[in-house]
Amino acid sequence: MTDHRAIRPARTALLALLTAGLLGSCGGSGSTTPGGPAAPTGLTATPASATSVTVTWTPVADATGYTLERRTGTSPYVPVTLPSPTATTVTDTGLGASTTYTYHVSATTAAGTSPYSADVAVTTAAADPTAPTIDGVTVVNGIVGTPEQVTVSGTATARSGTIQGVTVDWGDAGSTSSAGTSSAFTATHTYSTSGTDTVTITATDSAGRMVTDARRLQVTHFGTNSQAHVVFDGQSTPRELSGKRRTGVYTGSGCFTPVTDRYGVANQAERFNTASACTVGVAGGADTLAIPLPEDFTVDLWINPNAARAGQGGWLTGQEGGAFSLTLGTDGRVSATLAAPGGGTPLRATDPAATPSNVWTQYVARIEIAGTPAQTTLQLYRKDNATDRATPARRVAEATAAGAYVLSTSRPWTVAEAQGGTTSGAGDRPFAGDVDDLRVYDRALEPYEIAALSTLDRYPKP
């Protein structure tokens, strides 16, 4: 005979775990915060067309953002881009006709992240068999030298009547209408900032019937949140192109000279400390004006180490005083280092492979502070071949630590000569080799933006 007295306590404990949410959830791909806000309510999804759905939900008090996800059938949930972090209505475009989609949403407040709402399913409308079609759509997302520029082309075909026109809505208040009734269309647009945008193409026939084709794009604009863009192009001082006027100065006469840059153009990069007279005590470098970087930031630099002095390592760039540094070690490996506030353990990410000499190599250090309590993530990216447009910089190292590693907002940055930096891992030894194109951003660039820095940049430097 079964002893039910032994089963009841176990069942009670199991129910308690389920009630507390400690056994997880069958739906959703996000995590929740104990004690956080309740799940959003009032979620609705309504077909807007054969290829779009309008989703809305009830606002959550003090919400700083929402995460909306969609799936078809039993496939994994995927995120839906919102028009703003706190938007509670979105039209999800680029969907299939006569297809069922399931949505759910979670909210984030200062107290944490909520569970996902109850799922809501919706079926898009059937396609109009007499409506025109849009075929052969080609999207060129970013062009070398102008990554913020996007071109779309294709063909609109009428099933009945004629094509009256094609309109391209770029998703950022800019739209383009084609001229006349030509079925072939091409349109180009330049975005003013980086971000995710939806391009919607609409074709209309002579009876007023319409068809749309929507494409989501990740657009890069090199000027978005740029705090400094220093180029070494044979001028008497390093030029600064961000518009912030952080023009630098060269130091150490006789220890720097213009050389051919990574594009093969003469006098468009700077060579530091390769002359025999240039030593630790006598060195050349460059200083910028103060660059304010209170929290998240990104640093991008191209280097070409001198083979004769590769073993000495050296300071590549960083904030005066060493709060942040990018250095070449005596083992030939590059490290990005953040000095801990109060003199604690520094946060460091080191490339596992040595940097080759007499070859241009790109390094990007990406710093992001997130979460409550704060956690800092330091990532290091590298690209080996400046002329290879197809292969972007790849992440080679990452380090994380609790707390916020905050830089000074009033100190200058230095290149090649440490100028007082004390946490470089290579001491104060100056770098011997070529330097090109220092960029500093006051945000953590997205991976697609880092890729664009090495695949869509060109000479003359923008």
> What residues does each domain of the chain span?
22-123, 133-219, 226-455
Query: Confidence band (pLDDT; 50, 70, 90) for 23?
Result: very low
Given this model, what pLDDT does residue 360 score? 95
Rounded average pLDDT over 287-297? 88
Rounded average pLDDT over 285-293? 89
Per the DSSP assignment, residues forming a β-bridge with 140 are 151
CATH 2.60.40.10 for domain 22-123, yes or no, is yes
Given this model, what pLDDT does residue 54 score? 93
- Per residue in 310-344, pLDDT (tens digit) is 888 899 999 988 889 999 999 999 999 998 877 78
Amino acid at 60: V
The percentage of the chain sitting over the pLDDT mark of 70, rounded to a whole number, equals 88
φ and ψ at residue 291, rounded to 5 degrees: -120, 110
Q: Please name the fold of domain 226-455.
A: Jelly Rolls (2.60.120)
- Rounded to whole angstroms, how far apart are CA atoms 400 and 115? 26
| Contact call for residues 172 and 197 (beta carbons, < 8 A) | yes
Secondary structure of the chain in HEC code, one letter for each residue: CCCHHHHHHHHHHHHHHHHHCCCCCCCCCCCCCCCCCCCCCCCEEEEEECCEEEEECCCCCCCCEEEEEEECCCCCCEEECCCCCCCCEEEECCCCCCCEEEEEEEEEECCEECCCCCCEEEECCCCCCCCCEEEEEEEEEEECCEEEEEEEEEEEECCCCCEEEEEEECCCCCEEECCCCCCEEEEEEECCCCEEEEEEEEEEECCCCEEEEEEEEEECCCCCCEEEEEECCCCCCCEECCCCCCCCEEECCCCEEEECCCCCCCCCEEEECCCCCCCCCCCCEEEEEECCCCCCEEEEEEEEECHHHHHHCEEEEEECCCCEEEEECCCCCEEEEECCHHHCCCEEEECCCCCCCCCCEEEEEEEEEECCCCEEEEEEEEECCCCCCCCCCEEEEEEEEECCCCCCCCCEEEECCCCCCCCCCCCCCECCEEEEEEEEECCCCCHHHHHHHHHCCCCCCC
Given this model, what pLDDT does residue 147 score? 93
Taking CA atoms, 81 is separated from 137, 370, 462, in Å, by: 22, 20, 30
Asked if the domains 22-123 and 133-219 are classified in one and the same CATH topology, the answer is yes
- Rounded to whole angstroms, how far apart are CA atoms 455 and 90? 33
Q: Over 70: is that where the pLDDT of 178 sits?
A: no
Q: Over 80: is that where the pLDDT of 421 sits?
A: no
Q: Over 70: is that where the pLDDT of 199 sits?
A: yes
- Rounded to whole angstroms, how far apart are CA atoms 407 and 415? 17
- Per residue in 345-394, pLDDT (tens digit) is 899 999 999 999 999 999 999 999 987 788 899 999 999 988 888 899 99
Q: Over 70: is that where the pLDDT of 462 sits?
A: no
Query: Confidence band (pLDDT; 50, 70, 90) for 12?
Result: very low
Query: Confidence band (pLDDT; 50, 70, 90) for 461?
Result: low
- Rounded to whole angstroms, how far apart are CA atoms 202 and 43? 28
- Rounded to whole angstroms, how far apart are CA atoms 312 and 434? 15
Mean pLDDT of the chain: 85
> Which residues does 388 contact at the CB level (< 8 Å), separation at least 6?
none
- For the domain covering 133-219, report its CATH number: 2.60.40.10
Rounded average pLDDT over 11-30? 40
